[in-house]
């Protein structure tokens, strides 16, 4: 099977390359700020499956670069999806819990109403809408709080801060599911292969379990890493950022398990693997 992946050095794209024989296109070969070039790359490679694991992910910077974020996260996936429709091949696209407003405490189902509370979320929602509008055989996988041994992420930030600080204040009223990039990659490959075999695709959620706050996540990082850093939980209002973050990022992942047999991974086990890899680096 010929799999074309947009993204080469990002967290999910790196893990896909570790798990499967793929052609991965970095920015130098497929810049998502040029959507037509991305569509042309699909036509040139004529793969059996396309996975878009590339995105504009600078959540705070997106507040001042929303037009660029929307091209990369919104227009480009739409162009990819249309190219896949024209070639009659399936398309997998990664989205985010940030398409929701973060209210309430119940896990959000794929069918629940969306209402992004920041520019990044709006740009990702634009991508979802463009992919669906293209029609064809497409799957959108919303995920959350991605981490791995590479790239920038919360785990690596906490470890870096703990090297010079004995105590940290971390938000404890935002709740979600930390998700290992390796598990997202595995899920995308399972979904993509099922689609090549005839599955129609759809809209799905995938996040690690159990749900936790950022403060809970930080405490587990330090416990597993053997760091003595003390974590004090604080409310979101005490840690202002340019972009508003959703407080409820819980995701209902039941349909992914029902249709593909993909359950929620234990993020604590994934964290142990990431810490081991970082130690060996």
- pLDDT tens-digit profile of 223-274? 999 999 999 999 999 999 999 999 999 999 999 999 999 999 999 999 999 9
Residue 224 near residue 272 (C-beta atoms within 8 A): yes
Which residue has 């936790």 as its token pair? 212
- Peptide bond just before 186 cis, omega within 30 deg: no
Task: Give the pLDDT of residue 16.
Answer: 98
**Does the structure show a pLDDT above 80 at 204?**
yes
- The Cα 261–Cα 194 span in angstroms is 11
**Does the structure show a pLDDT above 80 at 281?**
no
98 is known as an active-site residue: no
- Spatial CA neighbour of 249 closest among 189, 163, 171, 184: 171
- The Cα 264–Cα 176 span in angstroms is 12
pLDDT in tens, 132-183: 999 999 999 999 999 999 999 999 999 999 999 999 999 999 999 999 999 9
pLDDT in tens, 210-221: 999 999 999 999
Average pLDDT over the chain, rounded to an integer: 97
| Cβ atoms within 10 Å of 27's Cβ, excluding its own | 14
3-state helix, strand, coil in the chain (%, to 5): 45, 20, 35
Q: Give the global pTM.
A: 0.97
**Helix, strand or coil for residue 49?**
strand
Task: Give the pLDDT of residue 27.
Answer: 87
State the catalytic residue, choosing from 56, 98, 120, 204.
Answer: 120
Superfamily grouping for domain 3-151+178-210+250-265: NAD(P)-binding Rossmann-like Domain (3.40.50.720)
């Amino acid at each position: 099977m010929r799999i074309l992946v947009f993204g080469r050095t990002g967290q999910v794209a790196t893990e896909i390359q570790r798990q499967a024989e793929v052609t991965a296109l970095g920015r130098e070969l497929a810049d998502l700020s040029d959507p037509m070039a991305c569509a042309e790359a699909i036509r040139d490679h004529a793969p059996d499956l396309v996975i878009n694991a590339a995105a504009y992910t600078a959540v705070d910077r997106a507040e001042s670069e929303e037009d660029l974020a929307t091209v990369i996260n919104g227009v480009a996936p739409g162009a990819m999806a249309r190219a896949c429709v024209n070639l009659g091949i399936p398309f997998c696209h990664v989205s985010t819990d940030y398409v929701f407003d973060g209210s309430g405490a119940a896990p959000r189902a794929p069918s629940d109403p969306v209402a992004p509370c920041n520019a990044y979320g709006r740009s990702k929602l634009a991508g979802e809408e463009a992919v669906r509008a293209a029609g064809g055989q497409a799957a959108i996988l919303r995920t959350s709080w991605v981490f791995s041994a590479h790239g920038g992420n919360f785990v690596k930030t906490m470890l870096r801060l703990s090297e010079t600080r004995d105590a940290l204040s971390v938000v404890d009223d935002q709740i979600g599911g930390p998700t290992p990039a390796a598990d997202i990659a595995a899920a995308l490959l399972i979904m993509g292969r099922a689609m090549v075999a005839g599955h129609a695709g759809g809209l799905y959620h995938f996040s690690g379990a159990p749900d936790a706050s950022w403060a809970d996540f930080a405490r587990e990082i330090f416990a597993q890493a053997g760091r003595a850093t003390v974590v004090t939980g604080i409310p979101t209002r005490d840690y202002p950022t340019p972009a508003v973050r959703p407080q409820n990022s819980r995701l209902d992942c039941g349909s992914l398990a029902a249709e593909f047999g993909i359950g929620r991974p234990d993020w604590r086990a994934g964290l142990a693997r990431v810490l081991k890899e970082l130690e060996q680096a």
